[in-house]
Amino acid sequence: MDLRLDGKVALVTGGSRGIGRAIATALAASGAAVMISSRKAAALEEAAAGMAGSVGWFAANAGDAEAAAACVAATVARFGAVDILVNNAATNPYAGPLIEIDQPRADKIAQVNQWAVLHWTQLAYRAWMRDHGGSVINLASIGGFGVEPAIGYYNVTKAAVIHLTKHLACELGPGVRVNAIAPGLVKTDLARVLWESYGDTIASKLPLRRLGEPEDVAAAAVFLASEAASWITGTTLVVDGGALVSPIGLT
């Protein structure tokens, strides 16, 4: 399989840490020029400095429409294209029963996790992919397939990402492929409380007997971005160590 991405340009949102950083690192190692984006310039600068290859950064809140447009424009200006878009940025400022969530936090979750996925795709499509083709990879979650009491609205938006992926794949083919990755519990800062508190118990019940690392998801992203996946679109690739088929289900 040819997993090289030489000559391609990738833009990764939420690229300064965790899964986004691992994906950006892997794309750059596979030969792509990479632009990483997140809210904080200092974190982006540090992340980019630690990646081998041609890597730039642009500070932008994924849910800010003007910042998103500026980031896509900066990517084209610097690298000449946007062949690969990874919609990785996400937020979850609320944990608790879905019935108790307030509108401001619900709006923030939907703005970043759901609307931004569509908006950044629109921007990349208009700036480059409509005329030149490309690959969009959306980060969903296995939570989008079921029910978890503490992060219900987060998972509602991830379920929306799975459906957005299908719909966009139908609309944008044949030139643009659109796929999603649905990770299980991965050892990132966002999920630190969960894996530090219950990680050993959860891992012991997974068929593969370990939690995920950001690099596990990154490998899937490189595959989906590459020519090896040239006849794959509209799918959600589950990367969860077997959580969906384990006795613990989604929890």
Cβ-proximal residues to 231 (8 Å cutoff; 6+ apart), any chain? none
Give CA–CA dist 49/3, Å, rounded: 24
Q: Is 198 a catalytic residue?
A: no
> How buried is 209 (Cβ within 10 angstroms: 0-12 exposed, 13-18 middle, 19+ buried)?
exposed
Cα-trace Rg, the chain = 17
φ, ψ of residue 56 to 5 degrees: the values are: -120, 170
Task: Single out the catalytic residue among 125, 153, 154, 198.
Answer: 154
Q: How far is CA 161 from CA 137, 140, 176, 207, 218, in A?
A: 10, 6, 17, 26, 18
For 248, what's the count of Cα atoms within 13 Å in the CB-facing half-sphere?
21
Active-site residue list = 154
